[in-house]
Amino acid sequence: MTDVARGYGEGTYGSGLYGYGRVPAAPTIDVEVWTPAGWVDVSCDGRTVDVTRGRSSWTESFAAATAVVELANFTGLYSAWNKHGIWATSSPYRTGVPFRVGIITPDGVRHPLFTGTTDAVVDTWPDIVDAVATVTATDAFKLLARAQGLARTPVGDGDRTGARIGRLLAAAGYTGPQALDAGTVTMQATDLAGVALDLMRVTGETEWGWVYVDESGTVRFRQRDAVQTDPRMVNVQWTFVDDDSTAGVCYSDISLPTDSDAVVNIAQITPAGLPTQTATDTASTAWFGPRTYTRTDLPYKVAADAAATCQLIVLEQAGQERRVEGITFDVRDAAGMAAAIGVRLNDRVRVIRHFPGGYVLDAELLVNSVHHQIAAVGAPEVSAWTVQLGTADALMVRDFALWDVAGWDVATDQWGV
């Protein structure tokens, strides 16, 4: 797919002579800082935006989302040392300021990419050459990682995982938005001792679900069977293609590793006071050798729940030597922009790859991570925008009967293999 020219002849490109019509307007960045008077728009000074959220693999917890924004700083407005600067308007402090980043599409609708608080401001000395302030920010996980609970009388015996996440948020003093599934697994009592975020992640792993903060700043917890019930996980939301024969978004790069790094063929979980539960894939173990997932810190109330999680892990990971780990695309047209502003963690997507010799890979994936890299030369208008999606492949939900890795091979190569 080709780039769309714009800005030539007041929004037209040869329309009178060549009939191309009007070129669509570009999206703009939206960068805002919170002050007691409300959100202040600083988008016109934006240079670049870099937002990352998600996790690197299916067996890891979600990391905190981060944003790095470069702002033109010729007036010194964004210097943390300026007592009349923007950071001085929020409080006596210069960091921890609410900060959000989004995209405004040509129809005037704002789409959030990041919501959090600032970590640091680094500004160059203003001079006649250039002056830039670089702002870094992190989502609500930052505050939860700093909340350390002291031991107290144990509570919550029999809590479902969703209730336990809510209990931990309350104990940490979190007052922001939250959207928590009930959960399917019950847990032993907790004395709430430890780092709130660590305890939340342990709870998420006990469920074998998802705990993360979304682009609007909402703490979300999804239970394990969301993969069967959430329409965004059941139905393909976006299709990524490498030619124009199928409708979709053209990608510029794809990561297709074939190795044993992600293989897990033995899972062992020993909850406190309960017997060790084990699941093994004998064929994978015979081929790769033992590749073990072992946990002793997951507080299952019932041994059968631990056994079910062991089975899930092995079913999902025992054959993970062939994977689709990532897709990169540039926002160049309406389809690309729709995907860039609309894609969410855990979305189900489809990717098509044509190989030499006629083989076609046609896979359906779940989104593990989203990384936006945006340039706004002549801010706030976007001049370049690349999106990288980390993905987890079809084998993970094979046994939910949604689809199978065998279904990837939709065409044979020239040798009939």
What is residue 167's three-state secondary structure? Answer: helix
Does CATH number 2.40.10.10 belong to domain 24-139? yes
Which runs of consecutive H residues, i.e. helices, occur in 4-160?
A: 15-18, 141-145
Tell me, what DSSP letter sits at residue 187? B
**pLDDT tens track, the chain, 417 positions:** 333 333 333 333 333 333 333 334 789 999 999 999 999 999 999 999 999 999 998 889 999 999 999 999 989 999 999 999 999 988 899 999 999 999 999 999 999 999 999 999 998 876 667 899 999 999 999 999 999 999 999 999 999 999 999 999 999 999 999 999 999 999 999 999 999 999 999 999 999 999 999 999 999 999 999 998 999 999 999 999 999 888 999 999 999 999 999 999 999 999 999 999 999 999 999 999 999 999 999 999 999 999 999 999 999 899 888 889 999 999 999 999 999 999 999 999 999 999 998 889 999 999 999 999 999 988 899 999 999 999 997 444 433 333 344 444 433 333 232
CA distances from 204 to 99, 201, 222, 299 (A): 27, 5, 8, 11
Task: Give the residue among 389, 386, 383, 387 at the shortest CA–CA distance from 29.
Answer: 383
Taking 3-state DSSP, the helix, strand and coil percentages for the chain, each rounded to the nearest 5, stand at 20, 35, 45
Inter-helix orientation angle 196-207/161-171, to 10°: 180
Task: Give the residue among 158, 196, 193, 153 at the shortest CA–CA distance from 174.
Answer: 196
Task: Give the residue among 138, 111, 125 at the shortest CA–CA distance from 30.
Answer: 111
What stretch(es) of the chain map to CATH 2.40.10.10?
Answer: 24-139
Model confidence over 1-20: pLDDT tens digits? 333 333 333 333 333 333 33
Model confidence over 100-146: pLDDT tens digits? 999 999 999 999 999 999 999 998 876 667 899 999 999 999 999 99
pTM of the model: 0.88
Residue 409 CA to residue 417 CA, distance in Å, equals 10
Task: Give the residue among 237, 217, 221, 216 at the shortest CA–CA distance from 338.
Answer: 237
Q: Which residues contact 70 (CB under 8 A, 6 or more apart)?
A: 46, 47, 48, 132, 133, 134, 135
Residue 175 contacts residue 143 (beta carbons within 8 Å): no
What stretch(es) of the chain map to CATH 3.55.50?
Answer: 145-224
What is residue 214's three-state secondary structure? Answer: coil
Place of tokens 């006990």: 206
Q: Which residues contact 102 (CB under 8 A, 6 or more apart)?
A: 29, 30, 32, 110, 111, 112, 113, 114
Residue 320 contacts residue 223 (beta carbons within 8 Å): no
Selected from 1.10.20, 3.40.50, 3.55.50, 3.80.30, the CATH number assigned to the domain covering 145-224 reads: 3.55.50
